Amino acid sequence: MNARFYSFSARLFFRIAFGCMMMVHGVSKLDLWMAKGNQVEFFNFLGLGSVLSLLLAIFAEMVCPLLIIIGVKSRIFSIPPMITMLVAAFLVHAEDPFAQKEKAILYFLGFLGIFLLGDGKYAMIPDYKSRSFWGFKKQTSAYSPKNRVLERV
């Protein structure tokens, strides 16, 4: 076993752990939306309305972690949970003591780690090999030495 195996295994564990823990919070919000529908009272983020804000939170806490767990564009799909956790920590719980904000900040740091590390080898669409930071294929520059053609004058 080499260091790459441990690195990729740690990334997989990190994705599964934080994804499953976040989905627990998403299930409670999904239950709230299913029970009350459009009559739900939820934090109104940027004037979007309670229902749309709740649906965005459900997306960030249910859909994104599921995609992160299976390894589909983990860097991109870690951004909505990070935004949701920052909103929860500093807007929803603005007046609360630090103990109330701590969980949201820890989730933010976990998804920040997923954002920085990527998904590794054990993923549905791995972005560790021959891919750029965001997981898309790298484009070679027209001015790179590989593409240079010497012309005779």
Question: What proportion of the chain, given as a percentage, has pLDDT over 90?
Answer: 42
Domain ranges for the chain: 3-147
Is residue 148 pLDDT above 70, yes or no? no
- Entry field: residues in the chain: 153
63: pLDDT strictly greater than 90: yes
Q: What is the pLDDT of residues 90-145, one digit of tens each?
A: 998 989 899 889 999 999 999 999 999 888 888 887 665 545 555 555 555 555 55
> Model confidence at 29, in pLDDT bands (50, 70, 90)?
confident
Quick one: CA dihedral 144, 146, 147, 150, positive or negative?
positive
CA-nearest of 64, 66, 40, 65 to 53 is: 40
pTM of the predicted structure, to 2 decimals: 0.78
Q: Which two tokens stand for residue 115?
A: 């954002």
